[in-house]
Chains A and B, each alone.
Chain A
Amino acid sequence: MSDDTPEFTEKSVDELVDIARSCRREIVKMVKRANAGHPGGSLSVIDLIVGLYGRTLRVSSTEPKHPGRDRLILSKGHASPAMYAALHAFGFLDETDLHSYRMFNGICQGHVDSKWTPGVDFSGGSLGMGLSFGLGVAISGRLTGRDHHSWVILGDGECQEGEIWEAAMAASHHRLENVNVIVDVNGIQNDDFVDQQMVMGDLSAKWAAFGWKVRDMNGHDMTEIAEAIEWSKTTVGPCVILARTTKGKGVSFMENNPSFHGKAPDDEEFKLAMEELA
């Protein structure tokens, strides 16, 4: 293994839009095959994940543990179908691997798991932990001189976890530049709308108060995503992007529907979803 950073090949916005569309199909297929999983939050976050792979992540599908790699830390680890679909699109997983999602002994575990899946660096499933993990990676980068970046994706409901704010404090206290956050603000959590469960108020003001530079954007517009990633890389941080998204984006009956946080479509719904995502 070499100690530098893997090479990066940038993809165009148009290419990424196409990739995200095919990922959406794979997400719904995975959840349908498993008859379980989290389609809503996977469909809200997929454009962000595809944007990161296509516009900035220096990773290697042939050497997934490359020490100089950037890290994508999916703290909202239940959106694993989105991660697996993207890992397939960018060469880390075969199509057949996707069939193992939630299956016995399958490499695509229910929640993202670094022990099971090549290209997954963080074991999620318990909310609130990913940003702290990203800080650890970032501190290591500072100490070793390795130029890797951590991109941490949080949910807005997840920001109810106290550890998020412990980590937010620590990042600005230690002036960590090589960790970036994107919050998938889809407005819905497990039981209901976020505003019904625990009002988060002004997320932008909250992050700013913890010493972060904040940028709002439409989390489904690939041009805006590409621009925000560039902003995050070139701004003295730490930086957080608040991605305004729609839960279940791309499938009409799942959109903004709390009941599709963690439920598979039935046969008829699946057929309709595939038509809409064709």
Chain B
Amino acid sequence: MTGAASRDGYGAALLDLAEDERVVVLEADLGKSTKSCLFRSEHPQRTFSMGIAEQNMMLVAAGLASTGMIPFASTFAIFTERGFEQVRNGIARPGLVAHICGSHGGIHTGTDGSSAQSIEDLAIYRTLPNMTVMHPCDASSTRALTKALVNHGSASYTRTVRNKTRQIYTDEEAAKLKIGEFSVLTEGSDVAILACGVMVQEALDAAETLAGEGVHATVVDVHTLKPFDHDEMKRISESCGAVVTAEDHSIIGGLGGAVAESLTAHHPVPLERVGVKDTYGMSGQPAELMEHYGLTANDIVDAAKTAIRRRNV
């Protein structure tokens, strides 16, 4: 079933949180795109346009957070990166609790082309101490996890996507998700597929194909890349013995990087990374691009078979 886009979940969550008067929304001329416009239309007095000026927006968020307010600042994922050093030195380093949302993440963004397709955001934010990094897979989980940020004790970066994706969770299921904990969608003992964002639907499709061939996969929605759920990672790698990661992000430093770090420290097993292979995107329809860059269920199936073969050598 095609649902909403995860950015719609972000907008809905801001409205859900509106009764908490500490919540302040900051925009950088992309509120209609990130969906913070939903909050603006109901609560204009608590929504502040910062113009096309992301660096300033990050430190305004820091200043608000220093007084106990709970700022939510959003723009395209790629443009949050312009303020990366501001997030590093101005928000995360002093331990301020401000929440950044980057929409339009990944190749899936489509026709806007490579300048708008952030494929490195998860990697760079993951390097910051005091920073939670999330990339939920659908609108329901984005809504639930964004709502949970209001009681979260550290700064965060959440990536959402532009286009509609399949609904993975009901609202009731999404409400049970916890920041920092893997969400296991299917259990199998032959291979584990860890996915985030738009690749979760591809991972589920891949698992179905594999099941038809007698290969049973565990599929995990890694909605939180940091803090990383090392305990669950260890359990799953022990039970499956072969791991595939799937992300609409560079294979360097994002989910693939996080899983590689965890596996090498706790339980090394063969790992295959499906993702953007150290290259930039281009214009095209999302489906065309996902095919071109090797981000489909079929690519995950192939990677799973490779990982299993490597385990059995």
Contacts and interface: CB of A to CB of B under 8 A. Distances in A.
Chains A and B bind each other? yes
A146 B69 CA distance: 13
B44 to A, nearest CB: 12
Interface in A12-66: none
B287 interface: no
B25 to A, nearest CB: 11
Contact of B56 (A121, A143, A163): A163
Contacts of B230: none
A169 B53 contact: yes
A135 B55 contact: no
Contact of A123 (B51, B61, B71, B93): B93
B67 A144 contact: yes
A106 interface: no
B59 A136 contact: yes
Looking at B45, B61, B67, B69, which has the most chain A CB atoms within 10 Å of its CB? Answer: B67
Nearest to B83: A163
B240 interface: no
Contacts of B55: 128-129, 132, 162-163, 166
A140 B90 contact: no
A92 B13 CA distance: 42
Contacts of A135: 56, 59-60, 63
A163 B21 CA distance: 28
B297 to A, nearest CB: 43
A170 B63 CA distance: 14
A67 B49 CA distance: 25
A121 B59 contact: no
A141 B59 CA distance: 16
Nearest to A161: B55
Contacts of A150: 63
13 contacts: A67-B67, A67-B68, A123-B89, A128-B55, A130-B59, A135-B56, A136-B59, A137-B67, A139-B60, A141-B67, A143-B21, A162-B55, A163-B53
Given A126-B89, A136-B67, A138-B63, 9 more contacts: A123-B94, A133-B63, A137-B64, A139-B60, A140-B64, A144-B67, A170-B50, A170-B51, A173-B49
Interface of A: 67, 113-115, 121-123, 125-126, 128-130, 132-141, 143-144, 146, 150, 162-163, 166-167, 169-170, 173-174
